[in-house]
Structure 1
């Protein structure tokens, strides 16, 4: 499992678990779609992290944009399309269709750093086997 799909499965699982846990700690609950979103984010982070010649701040900016974009896409499907009301940012300033709050992108930027660090740790751990 040193290369290939295995590392993406591991990072997806970690991302799903960690994102869900953060939401439970911060909001008191989560939704299964958020776990899937967290897993997808981390799998994309693993791809982005392959470009280590790219400055970490630029990778974090890209990470923040990935998170915000996925949040909008998932929100458009589960909240607007299916009406599940998993979240609603309508009362947040500068929100877009109640699905994303661009101000939160700053927080996603900050959380991207430990996300990329986790990807690096998983990569190193798997390559040492």
Structure 2
């Protein structure tokens, strides 16, 4: 659990920073939302049943994880607490302004990077298996291997 918490915190910091650069600002809650997404996505290749998943399958699961957490946290933070951290209501394919198809596609493309980064952190900090080359992972994604 400690390992997962450390990895989740680092992943959250990375997401928090990326969102700050992307949007020009962020909210501290994104540290936790991003960390939870990153930690859960990192688990996609940690269990034997998941080892046989193709990269595109992991991307679909990762995207579903992200949009589920994004929707739930959006309902709580934006709709109930009125923090107005994000609003996708003007984007095509949005649902209640909390998730949208545009960002879902972006999450699909970023999921391999999150999986690789989780594996890299586990390798560097905990001596686990060295991760595959990130180029190989994206090559497998576009060739459906």
Q: TM-score higher than 0.5 here?
A: yes
Instruction: Name stretches of at least 5 consecutive residues in structure 1 with no aligned partner.
Output: none
Question: What is the aligned partner in structure 2 of residue 43 from structure 1?
Answer: 39
Q: Which residue of 1 aligns with 2:81?
A: 82
Give the SS at the match of 2:94: coil
| RCO higher in structure (CA 8 A, sep ≥6) | 1
Deviation at 1:38, TM superposition (A): 0.5
Residue 28 of structure 1, CA deviation: 0.6
Kept in 2, the 8 Å contact 1:17–1:35? The answer is yes
The Cα shift of 1:72 comes to: 0.4
Q: Is the 8 A contact 1:8 1:46 kept in 2?
A: no
**Structure 2 residues without counterparts, runs of 5 or longer:** 129-145
Q: For 2:53 and 2:123, how far apart are their aligned partners in 1?
A: 18
Q: How many residues align?
A: 124
Q: Give me the whole-angstrom Cα distance separating, in 2, the residues matched to 1:99 and 1:121.
A: 31
Deviation at 1:102, TM superposition (A): 2.0
How big is the alpha-carbon RMSD for the aligned residues of Structure 1 and Structure 2?
Answer: 1.2
TM-score by length of 2: 0.81
- Scaled by the length of structure 1, the TM-score of the pair is 0.90
Q: Distance in 1 between matches of 2:22 and 2:123?
A: 30
Name the structure 1 match of 2:62.
Answer: 63
Q: Which residue of the partner structure matches residue 112 of structure 1? A: 111
